[in-house]
Structure 1
């Protein structure tokens, strides 16, 4: 329980640091594609403006995305900009009643001066990919695994994603880099700490009672 409290505390501190980093770049001008590529670190959440051609027929649908209680998908496709392939998140679309009935999306063949944010995808080893490397599109995926996408496309893809932020009638684009605020992690840390302290005192008094009982038993045996 103490370990869980410490883990939640660290998660809260990490979230607070990321929110501070986001605030520091929110009012800055958008970086060009070349400027982002020139940076070797600290590219997470950077605003970016870029242009590129889109592989509009090769659509990836990220599964299990929930918006306002409705299940749906985040729509991804690869853009080629400055001879580099980069995965682009076009936004969220609602799913249909039948799970096998995938939503139809229409992507442009090109983006010009598109505005977005740089996102570094995280790999969850507990998530098992169910998509196959075949020629069927759109392809439903369980997480953003750049290596898997490279295998599917048979091409190199940059290790970050650009999430588009401009309003669009077809997609919902309410970019939320931090879903759970730091305060919630701190509250969980306090709860785990309280449970740990309570468990410690229960153990302490139970052990003391057991030791007293053992001493009394030993004293009676000596008297006999």
Structure 2
């Protein structure tokens, strides 16, 4: 036995379904549109940050005395991305090889050595460059030419070397090894006893020591936010198109004509 509903009840059910679908579509359109606008605002902030980074890179290089003023973390961040020209002596015993770093699509090491500055009695970690890893013996250290005597190092100021994910037991095993996954400046200063500044220097210039210095350009990630904004606005447009098609156009086409 089949139930038959009055026409008024059917229209009422269809009406409630229409308005519920309309409400859900409007909420989805509003949320996705607001998320797209938020990503555009983030992109504008990153654009301003990128402009500030580019402006700092074009300023005249800092000398050793100016770098020594950055002994606090706040003052160090104010000098990020500035170019420097430092004089000092390498500390070869402090050389560390950061593993799993890539350049030219090949795995290798970032070579980091402390530079004892000629003034102030402080030292700074220098990211000297990249060297490929041995193909068969991954723990074999490459031969790096470290000049003795006073040297001049040109580069740009950076924060601590970039970190990669590491397991706890791997960090414990490599805590005092020359090959490490990551390097914390404060912990390394306590380990070596050197008065390290709370920043590092990415060395640039000629690579006569056999290291590659084709460092990636400093990017604030503006394109990423534009991509996210495009996705959110695309989803917003898709919800609007589906709503118009299924709730308006098809309803009008399927309406019986007299």
TM-score using structure 2 length: 0.64
Write the distance in 1 (CA, Å) between the matches of 2:44 and 2:97.
32
Number of the residue aligned with 2:183 = 144
With over 3 angstroms needed to count, the CA separation of the structure-2 counterparts of 1:180 and 1:31, relative to structure 1, is: closer
> Which of the two has higher C-alpha Rg?
2
Using the TM superposition, give the Cα deviation of residue 49 of structure 1 relative to its aligned residue in structure 2, in angstroms: 0.8
The structure whose residues are more often helix, as a share, is 2
Q: 1:21-60, aligned counterparts within 5 Å? A: 21-38=52-69, 40=75, 41-60=77-96
Does 1:176 pair with 2:186?
A: no
Number of the residue aligned with 1:80 = 116
Write the distance in 2 (CA, Å) between the matches of 1:8 and 1:71.
34
SS for the counterpart of 1:174 is coil
Using the TM superposition, give the Cα deviation of residue 86 of structure 1 relative to its aligned residue in structure 2, in angstroms: 0.8
SS for the counterpart of 1:118 is strand
Structure 1 unpaired stretches of 5+: 209-224
Using the TM superposition, give the Cα deviation of residue 17 of structure 1 relative to its aligned residue in structure 2, in angstroms: 3.1
SS for the counterpart of 2:111 is strand
Using the TM superposition, give the Cα deviation of residue 35 of structure 1 relative to its aligned residue in structure 2, in angstroms: 1.0
Counterpart contact for 1:62–1:140, Cα < 8 Å: yes
Give the total of aligned pairs: 202
Structure 2 unpaired stretches of 5+: 1-30, 248-258
TM-score using structure 1 length: 0.73
Write the distance in 2 (CA, Å) between the matches of 1:158 and 1:66.
26
Using the TM superposition, give the Cα deviation of residue 11 of structure 1 relative to its aligned residue in structure 2, in angstroms: 6.2
Write the distance in 2 (CA, Å) between the matches of 1:13 and 1:122.
27
